[in-house]
Amino acid sequence: MSDIKKVVLAYSGGLDTSVIVRWLQDTYECEVVTFTADIGQGEEVEPARAKAKALGVKEIYIEDLREEFVRDYVFPMFRANTIYEGEYLLGTSIARPLISRRLIEIANETGADAISHGATGKGNDQVRFELGAYALKPGVKVIAPWREWDLNSREKLLAYCDERNIPVEKKKGKSPYSMDANLLHISYEGINLEDPWAEAEEDMWRWSVSPEAAPDTPSYIEVTYEKGDIVAIDGQAMKPHEVLGHLNKVAGENGIGRLDIVENRYVGMKSRGCYETPGGTIMLRAHRAIESITLDREVAHLKDSIMPRYAEVIYNGYWWSPEREALQALIDQTQTYVNGTVRLKLYKGNVDVVGRKSNDSLFDEKIATFEEDQGAYDQKDAEGFIKLNALRLRIAAGKGRTL
């Protein structure tokens, strides 16, 4: 008899997690509580309720977390201009801390002994879910079925469903791409993408048209910032999740946001994946543009220097860590004067910054002009500046040192 009486499962209603519900009931002889989060994956989450009930689940949590997801996780991450390994906008990574937090909160509310998830033993998500859970509840028991069972193929999962009368949709032919979606992005892995040389099929993409099929006329948008976060588009105030939803639409229509990369997973292997992050691609370009006129040079360079470390912290699953909180505090402090508006041109997969303005701008036309500056800048001062900065180079060269 298991000492686990109740488990909270991160439940999507799909094949894997439906099997996990019954497997937990059979293996641990425990009650299962399901938690389904709407974080903008683009599919109805309410059907998960009927599926969970059919599996005998009595406590079912289905929650709309879209605004919280963007406001408290996506926006703070974008204040740092965060990208992992120079390309990945961390769409999957940033969703995991919120789900982990709610799993723990629901476990506390329901008196559950453990939490469970459907992440495999090969991926990053198992690490992210569990690091978050342990940070928030050190003694929590985590059950990861993919590390325990032998149901290591779609065929075995379907056979398990047949044996135990688990109602799931059965699709003929090849398994679909392994996909994960939220309001920030959608990811694709598996099938032909496991060959890094194979080009992704055009009909795989869901959120964007190809650049070739995008309109021949560019679209222009203006995004307005307050303290580093977008608060309005084209002068219309929007909530955080509305901002991202709107940007996803206009960017996708213009063929923006596709990415095909091979990344280094935290567990050690390389993995090829394709991502669509339409709105996030615009957000990154626009945020850097507004910072370019509002941030002090050394502050901007300091932010750039710590960004790769901040990206690794999030990618590896350490959102609920003291180092992320320390980095976040520094990043957020830099955003005090990151206010203003950026104008962008969207055209066939490209995002071009074509204008930026701010009442907090540090750009001084009188000093920067190539025309008469009326004494605002004394060019003779540059001579001493250059000589002082060249002093160590001149001394070394005088000693005969070479590079």
Per annotation, catalytic residue among 71, 154, 178, 332: 178
**Known binding-site positions for L-aspartate:** 120, 124-125
**Single-letter amino acid code for the residue at 292:** S
Residue 125 known to be catalytic: yes
Q: Rounded distance, CA 80 to CA 101, Å?
A: 22
Return the percent helix, strand and coil in the chain, to nearest 5.
45, 20, 35
Residue 265 known to be catalytic: no
8-state DSSP, 213? G
Q: 186: which 2 tokens?
A: 């959608």
Compute the Cα dihedral for 160, 165, 167, 171 and give only its sign: positive
Q: Rounded distance, CA 299 to CA 336, Å?
A: 12
Per annotation, catalytic residue among 125, 229, 272, 285: 125
Q: Angle between the 278-294 and 240-253 helix axes, to the nearest 10 degrees?
A: 110
Q: 77: which 2 tokens?
A: 């991450």
CA distances from 140 to 53, 113, 115, 146, 307 (A): 26, 7, 8, 18, 31
**Known binding-site positions for L-citrulline:** 88, 93, 124, 128, 178, 187, 263, 275
Helix (H) or strand (E) run with residue 301 in it = helix 297-315
Task: Find all residues with CB under 8 Å of 148, minimum gap 6, and list them.
Answer: 27
CA distances from 204 to 13, 225, 253, 258, 275 (A): 22, 34, 16, 11, 11
Per annotation, catalytic residue among 96, 101, 102, 356: 96
**Known binding-site positions:** 10-18, 37, 88, 93, 118, 120, 124-125, 128, 178, 187, 263, 275
Residue 364 known to be catalytic: no
**Known binding-site positions for ATP:** 10-18, 37, 118
Active site residues: 16, 96, 125, 178
